[in-house]
Structure 1
Amino acid sequence: MATKKRSAAPTANKFVSKSSGNSLVPWLGLAAIIILLDQLSKITVTKLFTYGETLSITSFFNLVLAYNKGAAFSFLAAESGWQRYFFTAIGVVASLFIIYLLKQNAGQRLFCWALSLIMGGALGNVIDRLLYGHVIDFLDFHYKELYHFPAFNIADSAICIGAGLFILDELRRVKK
C-alpha cells in the first residue's frame, strides 16, 4: 500500500523556511527564555538585597547585589557614561546579526543553540543598561575569601555557554 506524500502548506511567515525543521521561532523562543530568566532573577535580587549586600550560600558561593557600568570584568566601568550607549549599541547590532545568522542556518542545531544563548544574554544585559544605566550582577564565586571571580548574572552565563557551544560547533566542522 503506497502512502501519498504531503506537501508543505505555504506560509505567510517570512521567518519560517520552506524546509522542515528550519524555523527561526524555536531559536528566538530560546533567547526569550534566557531573557525572561535573567530579568526575573535580577528583579528578585534587587527586591531582596541592598547594593553590596552579600548572602553566603556555600564556602565558595555568595549572592551579592552588584552593579557593572562596563562590560565583562567591569571593562571600561570607570568611564564617564558613554560606555552605556556603546555597549547597548553593540548588543543590539550583535543581536540583529545573530537573527540574520539564525535565519540563514536555522537547521544547524548546535550553531543555533550557541547563537540563541548569546543573543538572549546580550539582550538581557541591554535591557539592564536601558532601564538602570548598568548591568545587575549577583552570582559571586570565590576561593577561601582570597579570590573572588567578578560577580556575574544569568545573561553572562548564557553568553559564556553560547560561546563554548560556538567553539565546539566550529571544532566539529573543522573535523568534518
Structure 2
Amino acid sequence: MSLKKASLFIILILLIDQISKVYIKTHFVLGEEIKVFDWFRILFVENEGMAWGAKIPGQYGKLILTLFRLVAICGIGYWLWDSVRKKGSVILVSAVALIFAGALGNIIDSVLYGVLFNDSHGQLASFLPEAGGYGTIFHGKVVDMLYFPLWSGYLPEWIPGWGGQYFTFFEPVFNIADSAITVGVGLLILFNKKAFPKEEEKTEA
C-alpha cells in the first residue's frame, strides 16, 4: 500500500470519527441514551483519562497524558512512513494506519474539544460558544458513544471474588477511533506472520 492510499484511509476514518463525535456532542446531553437494539445503544459519555477510565492523578495529569499522546502519535506516524518506505505488507500498513487514525482521532478531542465546545451537563453543547469552551487547550475530553451491553445479569455464586455480583458484558463505552485502534492491533496479532515476514521468506518471495 502506498503512502497516498494510507493517507486517504486515515482521512476517511478521521472524518467518520469526528463527524460522529461532533454530532453526538451537539445533539445529546451528557448521559443521554438511545436504545437501538437490546444489545446496542448510543450512550453519550466523556472520557477524561486513559482507556478503561484510568487517570493520571494530580493537577497536571491530564496535560501529561495529552502530551504523551502527542509524542506517541509521532512515533506511530514514523512507523507508518517507515513501513511504506520498506514496502511492508498491506496488512502491516493497513494496521498501522488504523492505529494512527484512531490515536489521532482521540488526540483531536483531548487537544481541541475543551476550547471548541461548551459543557454538555444538562444542555446541548454549542460549537465555538461565545462564552468560551468548557476547558483549555490540551484539556479536552474524549467523546464516546458506542455501547454494547451484550449480556447483563448476576454472576454465579461459585465464581471467586465476583460471585453474586451484577455484571454487564460488554461494559466500556467507546468510539470509532477506539475501534480503529482495536482492529489495527487485532490485525497485527492475528496476522503476525504476514505483517512481519521473516527475511528468508521475503527472499524466497
- Give the structure-2-normalised TM-score: 0.68
Could you say what secondary structure the match of 1:144 adopts? strand
Could you say what secondary structure the match of 1:57 adopts? strand
- Preserved contact between residue 69 and residue 135 of structure 1 (Cα < 8 Å): yes
Map Cα deviations across residues 90-117 of structure 1 (whole Å, 9 max, x no partner).
3222222222222222132111111100
Q: Structure 2: which 5+ runs fail to align? A: 115-139, 154-166
Are positions 1:154 and 2:158 aligned together?
A: no
* Count of residues paired in the alignment: 154
Match of 1:74 in 2: 53
> CA shift at 1:169, angstroms?
3.5
Q: CA RMSD in A?
A: 2.1
- Preserved contact between residue 60 and residue 144 of structure 1 (Cα < 8 Å): no
Which of 160, 163, 173 is matched with 2:185 structurally?
Answer: 163
- Preserved contact between residue 121 and residue 158 of structure 1 (Cα < 8 Å): yes
- Preserved contact between residue 94 and residue 119 of structure 1 (Cα < 8 Å): no
Measure, in 2, the Cα distance between the counterparts of 1:90 and 1:30. Answer: 24
Measure, in 2, the Cα distance between the counterparts of 1:110 and 1:81. Answer: 41
- Give the structure-1-normalised TM-score: 0.78
Match of 2:163 in 1: none
Are positions 1:137 and 2:144 aligned together?
A: yes
Measure, in 1, the Cα distance between the counterparts of 2:178 and 2:59. Answer: 21
Could you say what secondary structure the match of 1:36 adopts? helix
Could you say what secondary structure the match of 2:111 adopts? helix
Distance 1:137 1:93, change over 3 A: same
Could you say what secondary structure the match of 1:139 adopts? strand
Equivalent runs, 1:37-76 vs 2, <5 Å? 37-76=16-55
Measure, in 2, the Cα distance between the counterparts of 1:102 and 1:120. Answer: 11
Equivalent runs, 1:51-130 vs 2, <5 Å? 51-76=30-55, 79-80=57-58, 82-106=60-84, 107=87, 108-130=89-111
Could you say what secondary structure the match of 1:121 adopts? helix
Are positions 1:35 and 2:11 aligned together?
A: no
Q: Structure 1: which 5+ runs fail to align? A: 1-20
> CA shift at 1:135, angstroms?
0.4
